[in-house]
Amino acid sequence: MFRLPILFLTLLYSACVSFGQSPGIPANVIATPYERHIELRWTTGMPAASEYQVYRSVDGIEYTLFKTVYPPLLSCIDWTGDEGLGLTRHYKVKAVSGVMSSDFSNPATATTFNMTDEQLLDMTQQYTLRYFWDYGHPVSGLARERSNGNDDIVTTGGSGFGIMALIVGVERGWITREAAVNRMVQIVSFLQVADRYHGVYPHWLDGNTGNTVPFSQYDNGADLVETAFLMQGLLAARQYFNQNDPLENAIRDVITILWEDVEWDWFRKNNGPVLYWHWSPNYGWQMNFPLRGFFEAQIVYILAAASPTHPVPASLYQTGWTAGNYANNASYYGYPIYCGPYGGGPMFFAHYSYLGFDPRGKKDAFCNYFVRNRNHALIQVAYALANPENHEGYGANCWGLTSCDGPNGYSAHDVNPQNDNGTVAPTAALASMPYVPAESMNALRYFYRELGQNLWGRYGFYDAFNLDQNWVAPSYLAIDQGPIVVMIENHRSGLFWDLFMANPEIQPALDAIGFVPNSTGTAAAPQSGFTARISPNPALPGAARLFVETGQPLELTARYFSADGSHALPVFSKRDVSQSTEIQLPNLPQGIGWLLVSDEKGHTQILKILTLSNP
């Protein structure tokens, strides 16, 4: 066999390299400091590189290789954690292609600092927004279903959430209005030509073609719930993009067309008393899922009654949505839930329909939904404190059970112990911010400061984690990212509650359904008007006392719950207390338990107690 001499090959290779071009020097290198991390971002030079090497220095003199980054990613995170605040780091970036590399970029320097709660909220919203802005589908502009799946599958409901997230970006100054308008033109133009069935979109679309991507065998057509989430976002955008210029006028006009094309009435299935979730051009009503009983889909009936072109009778709210087993008169950890499954169900039940629909100051025949959703969150906090399944990490700062990715795949989680495997989703706590701001903020601080090294990434908090199994999701999901951005904004400014409710079709629909003014639940969970502690603790049976401090006379009620769920006992009811009061506690079951102390205004404190066995 003919062989070229090794020396000749070496010379040939060297000649090829010498005639090649080095990749361009990375430009616009910016290091942005936060409390526990520094983010480095840059733009590519030309010619492009196959990888980027990030070098780091603690003194600005000696640099060592810190991380290698591969395009299209042009950023990295340096988690400084608990190394200390006021930590200064210096960075340079080098582009590499094969054996060739560029010169170093100009250096970038940043110093970490102690962040206020407002700055932490800014950071969380801005990072999470990137899922929709940076990672949005390049052709459709819509939200990709998840970060670790098929990049061409976009989700209609999650895109409704994403549209609202873009508006937050404009309001907070993270993206320009012009850029957001261009993205909205891209989105609504695509939605005009994408598959629809009686005006209703499928759950998933191909982001390139607009063709339906089946969610399952029989779910390959219309999805009324996902369409409602999309319309909720579009109607908020119709109010926000209100300037009198050709592009914003066109956005509003197209949104109105899409909204008025939805044939809500057709999904009554032959004019029946209830709406149905799915319809397939191949399998008809095979899925057979009536929208009845409390879960995430309340917005469907509101929009269906509000439609100016294809409305359903407002009475369908009663004959469909609230018919059957709707009410739940039970209380969990001292909080009534009013409607829905055990403990309220997964936390997203209190989020998706309320990104735009403002539940404050109104009630239907069953409840004020702000109060219901606030209690839902408080139940989850109390459950995390009680921790009946003894999961690692659960507590006042680590809570939030919902549908999310988990160690064994995507599934629903809630406070029913059989549905709790120790998987916590940041979206559950963070999207509850309007209802329980103090408890949600506690969770945000903990997730970032204590778990952030593994839980924080390029689009904010990863989808979920399970400390029992030392597992963190590698994924982001549109339906979990969107509520974080939007509900934090509703807490901070009420923006989307104002925008969505300003649509002229909404309030008449609520009136027709039977919503009436209700003054409760117009603010977040009230702060306690008293302080309480137990001493001694631990204590022998009958030895513990409750010490209460209050600035004014109150009536207190206390209930005891054992951590294993085996006991739920009244301790005292409507007990008069004033200033400093000492109350002898009765014999309580041995072991760990929780004392829930409440006053007549709904202020509640949860105290952990350990009752010892008699010697």
DSSP structural state of residue 276: B
pLDDT at residue 522 in the model: 56
Alpha-carbon gap, residue 314 to 513, rounded angstroms: 5
pLDDT at residue 3 in the model: 46
Please give the CATH number for the structural domain made up of 530-611: 2.60.40.1930
Give yes or no for residue 527 having a pLDDT over 60.
no
Query: Other CB atoms closer than 10 Å to residue 465's CB: what's the count?
Result: 27
Helix, strand and coil percent figures for the chain, each rounded to 5? 35, 25, 40
Give mean pLDDT, residues 591-609. 80
Is 15-114 assigned to CATH 3.40.50.300? no
pLDDT at residue 7 in the model: 41
> What are the φ and ψ backbone dihedral angles of 36, each rounded to 5 degrees?
-115, 5
Is the four-CA dihedral 459, 464, 466, 472 of positive or negative sign? Answer: negative
pLDDT at residue 84 in the model: 82
Enumerate the CATH 2.60.40.10 domain ranges in the chain, comma separated. 15-114
Give the model's confidence band at 526: pLDDT under 50 very low, under 70 low, under 90 confident, else very high: very low
Give the model's confidence band at 14: pLDDT under 50 very low, under 70 low, under 90 confident, else very high: very low
Give mean pLDDT, residues 249-261. 98
Helical packing angle, 117-133 and 156-171, nearest 10°: 130
Query: Which helix (H) or strand (E) covers residue 591, if one does?
Result: strand 591-599
Enumerate the CATH 1.50.10.140 domain ranges in the chain, comma separated. 120-517
Enumerate the CATH 2.60.40.1930 domain ranges in the chain, comma separated. 530-611
Lowest model confidence (mean pLDDT) among 63-72, 476-485, 535-544: 535-544
Give yes or no for residue 129 having a pLDDT over 50.
yes
Please give the CATH number for the structural domain made up of 120-517: 1.50.10.140
Alpha-carbon gap, residue 529 to 382, rounded angstroms: 19
Give yes or no for residue 478 having a pLDDT over 70.
yes
Residue 74 CA, chain-centre distance (Å), reads 25
Alpha-carbon gap, residue 443 to 389, rounded angstroms: 20
Give mean pLDDT, residues 518-526. 62
User: Is the Cβ–Cβ distance between 155 and 143 less than 8 Å?
Assistant: yes
Residue 75, strand partner residues:
41
Residue indicated by tokens 């000749």: 8
Q: Which of 261, 268, 239, 277 is nearest to 309 (CA)?
A: 261
pLDDT at residue 289 in the model: 97
Average pLDDT across the chain, whole number: 93
Give mean pLDDT, residues 349-358. 98
pLDDT at residue 320 in the model: 98
Give yes or no for residue 152 having a pLDDT over 70.
yes
pLDDT at residue 26 in the model: 96
